Structure 1
Amino acid sequence: MSALPASSTPPLVIGHRGAPGYRPEHTESAYRLAFELGADAVEPDIVATSDGVLVVRHENEISGTTDVADRPEFADRRTTKTVDGVRLTGWFTEDFTWEELATLRCRERLPKIRPENVTYDNTEPILRLCDVLSIADAQSEAQGTPLRIVIEIKHDHYFRELGLDLVELLLAELAATGWSERPEQLIIEAFELGALLRLREADVQAQLVFLAERIGSPADEVAAHEANRSHRARSYAWFRSNAGLDLLATVVDGISVAKWNILHLNALGRATGTTDLVQRAHDRGLHVYTWTLRPENRFLNLRFQGSVHGAEWGDWRGEFELVLASGVDGIFVDHPDIARMVRDESS
């Protein structure tokens, strides 16, 4: 694949789980508001129920984002599991049918940082992926422009071990909702390359993007190593190297990285500029996306923090502008309106 040509197209503003800066994440109001505030796309994370329904939750453990812990009828579902090497105790989507999950109500995930959002707790149900696709259809019609969806596949290897193939379920959902023939509107991403390879083999009509955490290795790489010790698990850092980018350029369309891999930090941890990651990826024909741009001090680099109070907003504009200056093709944001403003001013 050749290097990406210079483009005047502004980077996508992607509502990260909707507009969670203003509403509890992954709710209907969060998704509708994200589009109304100028997001070009929204990002639903998908996990599965016991009966194979794709629901949108950041994780399959749902005690932090729903009222499940307060439901006595589900008290016996509380359990401890290891998900992609992390031991968790709580309630998991795969232990519920969709009919059961539909009775739950959503809650703010970061109540101390976004206390205003708590007023919306317990007012909206969990959504299925098909619900989010329907919202995008309705908003596209209302706004007179084709809006995009960025679907993130969560814990692919973990769910396959349970007999729930998220790739197969996703392909069926896209076909059933009419989204299987909209490559200009659909991006699919995953932290596990295996899921993206299976989608490519199925000739899915979408842009495929590999997600790379700051540290560690993909779960499918770790599983392959455990099954065959001669296989060395490739790290996320390796996938960001020139060799890793060379490989990715042959099988996917883009890479999505934490903003900390875009920002160049000095010895004190303060941002002094940007790294060459975007350019190296572009040189190989890969699009580059980054996450997550947020205005609160807790999430900003030291250079842009305005105080020690994590919930207060710092110099978010300065950090957003620096990230955009790297040449990224899209930014995941919690507040689409302010990101859209800075994006448009910088274009």
Structure 2
Amino acid sequence: MEAETGRKIGIAPETKSPSFFESIGLDTSAMLVEQLVALGFTDRERVFVQSFETANLIRLNDEIMPGAGVDFQIVQLGNSYTVEALTEIARYADIVGPSKDAILLRRAVTPVDGDGDGVALIARQLTGEVRPLVENAHSLGLKVIPYTVRAEEPFLVLGVDGTPLSAQDEMRLLIELGVDGFFTDQPDLGLEAVADHRPATAPRATTSCRARTASTSSMAARGTTSSSAVPATTC
């Protein structure tokens, strides 16, 4: 992609079920770091290692990355939102990656036809309640990159007033809440939403995170995008 576009590309690999693989003798977290080091792909600003599990991320922060001489950004996936829970995450991670549904709360409703094709596929509606996840995370120096905004009708949501929202509508709601990026399957829509929101004279923001206390598809928000992540500030 870099050769085709002339742009530097970041990656957000997720270690899937690391505890299972460790039980059969495969340390996938160490293997990932070893491979990236072997490839010379070690720029902190371009690597975001994700996991829903916790123990492997702590090991990455405390042992594996220091031992390899690298310091990739760590993304703790999951829906923790209290100050207490996020304080513990901030010890080893740079970013939290919650479901967007854990920020903008929603409820199940009788399905609605959103595109006029006679098939009712939108089955959730925003309640109007917003959890303080973004505010709490930012107060602790954590960035917030929720997942995954999709444009297909079954993944859309109704607004509080019952009006169908587009994927870009939901992206804009997240941007207005201050998320630092978001994952989307339609990065072109994500970049448009970010561009629409950013003032023409605004400086490009960076994605560097506050340093951790030693012993966080793509991103689009105040700028990334794959499930592509689109930064709410473009990288």
TM-score of the aligned structures, taking structure 2 as reference length: 0.69
- The amino acid that maps onto 1:289 is I
Distance 1:303 1:173, change over 3 A: same
Match of 1:283 in 2: 139
Q: Residue deviations 1:128-160, cap 9 Å, x none? A: xxxxxxxxxxx2344333221011110000111
Secondary structure, in 3 states, of the residue corresponding to 2:57?
helix
Return the alpha-carbon distance in structure 1 between the equivalents of residues 10 and 18 of structure 2.
22
What does residue range 284-299 of structure 1 map to in structure 2 within 5 Å?
A: 284-299=140-155
Tell me if 1:321 matches 2:172.
yes
**62, 74, 77: which is aligned to 1:211?**
77
Match of 1:168 in 2: 30
> Once the 2 structures are TM-superposed, how far is the Cα of residue 273 of structure 1 from its aligned partner?
5.8
- The amino acid that maps onto 1:198 is R
Tell me if 1:253 matches 2:94.
yes
Tell me if 1:148 matches 2:10.
yes
Tell me if 1:343 matches 2:194.
yes
Distance 1:187 1:297, change over 3 A: same
Match of 1:69 in 2: none
Return the alpha-carbon distance in structure 2 between the equivalents of residues 289 and 340 of structure 1.
15
> Once the 2 structures are TM-superposed, how far is the Cα of residue 243 of structure 1 from its aligned partner?
0.9
Match of 1:37 in 2: none
Given that 2:81 and 2:131 are in contact with CA atoms closer than 8 Å, whether structure 1 keeps it comes out as no
Given that 1:273 and 1:322 are in contact with CA atoms closer than 8 Å, whether structure 2 keeps it comes out as no
Secondary structure, in 3 states, of the residue corresponding to 2:86?
helix
Return the alpha-carbon distance in structure 2 between the equivalents of residues 343 and 240 of structure 1.
24
> Once the 2 structures are TM-superposed, how far is the Cα of residue 270 of structure 1 from its aligned partner?
2.8
- The share of aligned pairs that are identical, in percent, is 30
Given that 1:274 and 1:323 are in contact with CA atoms closer than 8 Å, whether structure 2 keeps it comes out as no
> Once the 2 structures are TM-superposed, how far is the Cα of residue 297 of structure 1 from its aligned partner?
2.0
Greater length-normalized contact order (CA 8 Å, ≥ 6 residues apart): 1
> Once the 2 structures are TM-superposed, how far is the Cα of residue 320 of structure 1 from its aligned partner?
1.6
> Once the 2 structures are TM-superposed, how far is the Cα of residue 176 of structure 1 from its aligned partner?
1.4
**44, 49, 54: which is aligned to 1:188?**
49
Return the alpha-carbon distance in structure 2 between the equivalents of residues 262 and 141 of structure 1.
37
Return the alpha-carbon distance in structure 2 between the equivalents of residues 275 and 345 of structure 1.
25
Return the alpha-carbon distance in structure 1 between the equivalents of residues 32 and 21 of structure 2.
13
Higher Cα Rg, which structure: 1
C-alpha root-mean-square deviation of aligned residues, in Å? 2.3
What does residue range 38-49 of structure 1 map to in structure 2 within 5 Å?
A: none
